Structure 1
Amino acid sequence: MSIHKKLVLTFITFSAVLIISMAILIKWSFQRGFVDYIRQQDSQTLQEITPDLTRFYAEQNGWGPIQNDTRRFYRLLRHFAMMRDDPDATGNPPPPGKVPFHLSVFLIDPTGKLIAGRDPKSQIIEQQAITVNGNVVGYFGLGERHRPPNRHDKRFADQQGKQLALITLLALLLSLLFAWPVAKFLVKRIQRLVSQVRHLSQGQYDHQIKVRGGDEFATLAQHLNDLANTLKQTEQSRRKLVADVSHELRTPLATLRAQLEAIEDGVHQYNDDTHARLHNQVMRLHNLVDDLYQLSLSDLGALQYRKQDCELDVLILNAVQASLPAFDQAGIELTLDDELPDRSTVFADPQRITQLFSNLLQNSLQYTDTPGKTRVRCQREGNRYLVEFEDTAPGVSDSQLPQLFDRLYRAESSRNRDHGGAGLGLNLCKNIVQAHQGSIEIHNSRLGGIRVSVHLPVST
């Protein structure tokens, strides 16, 4: 069954249950109210006829003419009713008709003995005392109904029931006429979303849905559009990564091939310089492949982290001391400003944090002109530790700063394939920091280069 039919069926079922329930409640309320209405009418008639019975008793000096004569008693009641409804007809006898009461009527003496009408026994609804010259001469009242409403009442009730049934059917028909286009409209919006998902599954990421309204469907459509943009960017990044990696691999391989062919052709002799050039290209390949392997493990979540409480100042000091010989050889001054308090504990993997600091120091070493300076500063800021790596020229433009974390990206001022890396180190650093619930940012340095800020949470 299609979703359109399911929605229509759902609307109809809900409407039918609601309408039928309302019809039953209305019918019950009408029947109960109709009976109460009849009783109120009878009670009013009872109060209006009681004075007539009082006058009748006074004129007849008793109940003799109607005592034990129920039919004459009812005719008398009809006569009183006609005189009340039509005062001009006092001279004519009232036409035959029904008793102006819908319940049992009785007339009893002061002792409770039945004079006329139906014996109420204990089923007395209401009664009025008949008083003559200050003495109670009887009681006129209404007893419980011993029969259903008369044919006029029943006809009225049946007519109301039929009208209610007709209204119920009409409401069901209107709900169907309403449910069909509404369900079609909703299904049409769902079909647009399904079509967008189909485009995404086929790799058509440029296709967008027109977002209309502010309901959940519009929100879902906007999310699908965002997903299409994300998938498009991911696909572009994947293609760019493949192209950049192949290009990075071709450069050292081409250099190695040219050097080996030159040696084979006798153009160059294999000496220490040739050995150094070959070794450099092999190390570039090794570093590139190792960085790609580390990034792939990080992306898959397979990069292992053995976290423990460790002293952050010790990790920073060890990384700086290990890098000092390379900085001294390159003619770049490396300084450490340790402003951390005693027992600066972080819950981290000491090996990965050391790898993080070493990568940032190596990045500064590779992309800082000689003579230059690199300064490492660390301090505590609230519930976080701040570690900054700041170096001298060359710097990068503000527009290029956010792209430095992209894989295989290098700014124009530092694209030196003989001295620079492959552009994967900062991306790996970002993954390590995020795995420790920290953050990393890059800004321009006051020294003329760049400033990398690492925030790590304080161990609790």
Structure 2
Amino acid sequence: MISIRKQLFSIFLSIGCIMVFSTSLIVNISIKKNFEIYIDNNIREAGNSIVAIVEKLYEKGELENNTMQQGLLENYMGNFAVTLLGPDKHFIWGETEQSFIEDLNQKYPNQVDPSLYRQEERPVHNKAGEIIAYVKIGYYPSDILTKNDLKFQKNVNVSIVWCSSMILMWFILAGLYVSRLFTYHIYGISKTSIALADGKLNARYPFKSKIKEIETLRHSMNYLGEKLERQDTIRKKLISDVSHEIRTPLHILQSNLEAMIDGIYPIDEEQMNVLYQEVVRFGKLLNNLDLLKNVEENESRMNFRVINLNESVQEVFDAFKIVAKEKKINYHIKHTETENVMVSADKDALKQLWMNLLSNAFKFSDHKGEIKVYTGMQGKECTITVEDHGIGIAEEDLPYVFERMYRGDKSREQYQGSGIGLTMVKNIVEKHNGKVAIESVEGEYTKIIVTLPIHTKMLEPNNISGKMRNYMKMTKN
């Protein structure tokens, strides 16, 4: 198994090698092609010059003059083998292929390949356009290049090697940098995850990355660590609370039973009632733990059907009127906006949802306080808000109120409860494809907003009520 750093470096190195090789190949091919064109142009120009001079010699009647032949060979032929032929192509003067190859062998021992020798035949015309002679021009390709040409070609090849080396070096440096840029943070995040897996829940990775995806991964890992640490704190608190809750009734039961056995307390109805209350208290605790288990394992099965939202809310609202009267709480409901709104839901689950919300509102509301229930519309969704003006929730506790068995600060611990009410609320809402949010200011108010989707048939034109149709028009505008 190869590390991501080595993989990234290998990729960059491979790309660098491919680019260097392909660039060098393209440059070499281009230079070779241009040099071939350059040689062809030189041959063409030399041939044109030689033919022009032969024509002038013919005009002067000096075509077979050996002195003129020698001057021509020295001044114009250069690295070419020039042979002058008559109209019937008989040899007049010049250098033959054999003599030219022999001269090259002396100049370049054991380096000349006769098969590379090339020649072309050009006609010579007089002023009347008649062919008066033929010029045969022979050459050896590599010998046509001058010393400056060869030097230039060599310098180009050296430059290509240097450029290729520089490009490859930059790719190596870029590969090292990019591989480190990616892997440095990934290694750190992986070590953090290992530390979390080993139980070090306070482990965090603090170094930020400039890469969005890695920064998201870092943030997610740290957030996971915070959640695990918070869950661990809640778990320890749960164990402590359960231990305390179980120990208290057991201690009372044990003490009272021992006193009865020893004859200190009489076995009468009053003592039996005390023992019975502690047994009931113990049973409630066990029921709450079972309820929590059902919430965690999602054992409850939903029986969805179309129900009237207002009827569901109103039924539970009416059940708390007596409690509101006893606590002298200003208690009212407003649900005109959701008149005739239908939702697809489990009737019992929805009832449990409103029960939990209202019981929490009454639990944490002082006497002569206020509790409001009101509904509204948001496009294709409806909202149900339960607002109480009680003790509120501390700002630092708000992100965790939907956690299982979570209970807020010490001021809220005086109120009886298992800490799973809002956990059940969130679970029920999510099973209905809805959302739940909470707003609160400590010492002032708490507002819980539940959002549920409206039943699809309600959104058909013929089924939309007048108030809902007007509201949807207003939201569009």
TM-score by length of 1: 0.72
- The aligned counterpart of 2:37 is 36
Given the superposition, is the C-alpha separation of residues 257 and 200 from structure 1 closer, same or farther in structure 2, using an over 3 Å criterion? same
Alpha carbons of structure 1 residues 287 and 346: separation in structure 2 relative to 1, 3 Å: farther
Amino acid at match of 1:17: I
Query: Post-superposition shift, 1:183?
Result: 8.2
Offset at residue 38 of structure 1 (A): 0.4
Equivalent in 185, 202, 205 of residue 206 of structure 1: 202
Task: Please state whether the residue corresponding to 2:205 is helix, strand or coil.
Answer: coil
C-alpha contact 2:79 2:139 (8 A) present in aligned 1: no
Q: CA deviation at 1:387?
A: 1.8
In structure 2, the residue matched to 1:69 is none
Moved more, 382-391 or 145-154: 145-154
Shift in alpha-carbon separation, 1:220–1:305, aligned structure 2, 3 A = same
Sort the Cα spacing of 1:200 and 1:36 in 2 relative to 1 into closer, same or farther, 3 A.
same
1:236 matched residue in structure 2: 233
The percentage of aligned residue pairs carrying the same residue is: 21
Deviation at 1:33, TM superposition (A): 1.8
- Equivalent residue, structure 1, for 2:354: 357
Query: What residue identity is the alignment partner of 1:26?
Result: V
Corresponding position: 1:98 with 2:99: no
Q: Is the 8 A contact 1:108 1:139 kept in 2?
A: yes
Please tell me the root mean square deviation across aligned C-alpha atoms, in Å: 4.7
Given the alignment of the two structures, is residue 409 of structure 1 paired with residue 407 of structure 2, yes or no?
yes
1:155-234 residue pairs with structure 2 within 5 A? 156=150, 163=158, 170=165, 174=169, 178=173, 182=177, 185=180, 190-211=186-207, 213-215=209-211, 217=214, 220-234=217-231
d(CA) in 2 for partners of 1:126, 1:355:
108
Can you list the C-alpha shifts for 1:345-366, whole angstroms capped at 9, x where unaligned? 1122222111111112222333
> Quick one: structure 1 residues 208 and 368, their matched pair in 2 at CA, closer, same or farther if it must change by over 3 Å?
closer
Task: Tell me the amino acid that sits aligned with residue 344 of structure 2.
Answer: F
Whole-angstrom CA distance in 2 between matches of 1:443 and 1:169 = 65
- Name the SS for the 2:79 alignment partner: coil
Aligned to 2:305: 308
* Correspondence for 2:108: none
2:424 matched residue in structure 1: 428
Name stretches of at least 5 consecutive residues in structure 2 with no aligned partner: 97-117, 457-477
Amino acid aligned to 1:52:
I
Is 2:437 the counterpart of 1:441? yes
Residues 440 and 452, structure 1, Cα contact 8 Å, conserved in 2: yes
Q: Are residue 317 (structure 1) and residue 314 (structure 2) matched?
A: yes
Code of the residue aligned with 1:237 in structure 2: it is I
Mapped partners of 2:408, 2:172: distance in 1: 64
Change (3 A) 1:263 1:440: farther
Partners of 1:219 and 1:414 in 2: how far apart?
A: 36
TM-score (norm 2): 0.69
Partners of 1:12 and 1:172 within 8 A in 2: no
Q: Which residue of 2 aligns with 1:53?
A: 54
**What is the CA distance between 1:173 and its match in structure 2?**
7.7
Q: Distance in 1 between matches of 2:135 and 2:343?
A: 94
- Using the TM superposition, give the Cα deviation of residue 220 of structure 1 relative to its aligned residue in structure 2, in angstroms: 4.0
2:265 matches 1:271: no
Cα deviation code 1:290-318 (max 9, x no counterpart): 34333333334444333333221121122
Alignment match, 2:141: 149
Q: CA deviation at 1:212?
A: 5.1
**Structure holding more helix per residue:** 2
Does the CA-based 8 Å contact 2:202-2:225 persist in structure 1? yes
Please tell me whether residue 247 in structure 1 is matched to residue 239 in structure 2.
no
SS at match of 1:203: coil
Q: Which amino acid aligns with 2:294?
A: L
Q: Is the contact made by 1:108 and 1:138 (CA closer than 8 Å) also made in structure 2?
A: no
In 2, Cα distance between equivalents of 1:441 and 1:8: 48
AA of the residue aligned to 2:141: P
Whether the aligned pair in 1 keeps the contact of 2:249 and 2:279 (CA below 8 Å) is yes
Q: Determine if the alignment matches structure 1 residue 386 to structure 2 residue 383.
A: yes
Indicate if the aligned counterparts of 2:389 and 2:445 stay in contact, CA closer than 8 A: yes
Rate the CA distance shift 1:195–1:412 in 2: closer, same or farther, 3 A. closer
How many residue pairs are counted as aligned between the two chains?
Answer: 424
AA aligned opposite 2:432: H
Task: Note the residue ranges of structure 1 that are not aligned, 5 or more in a row.
Answer: 67-71, 85-93
- Mapped to 2, the partners of 1:163 and 1:350 lie a distance apart of 85
The answer as to whether partners of 1:23 and 1:164 remain within 8 angstroms in 2 is no
Structure 1 window deviating more from structure 2 (196-205 vs 215-224): it is 215-224
Distance 1:414 1:2, change over 3 A: closer
Q: Which moved more, 1:44-53 or 1:357-366?
A: 44-53
Separation in 2 of the partners of 1:246 and 1:43? 107
Mapped contact 1:294–1:428 kept (Cα < 8 A): no
**Conserved? CA contact 1:307–1:347, under 8 Å:** yes
Distance 1:178 1:424, change over 3 A: closer
CA contact (8 A) 1:313 1:344 kept: yes
- Match of 2:466? none
Q: Which whole-Å CA distance do the structure 2 matches of 1:154 and 1:283 have between them?
A: 113
Q: Measure, in 2, the Cα distance between the counterparts of 1:43 and 1:429.
A: 95
Instruction: Give a deviation string over 1:202-238, Cα, whole Å, max 9, x none.
Output: 2223344352541355554444344333333333333
The structural deviation recorded for 1:5 is 5.3
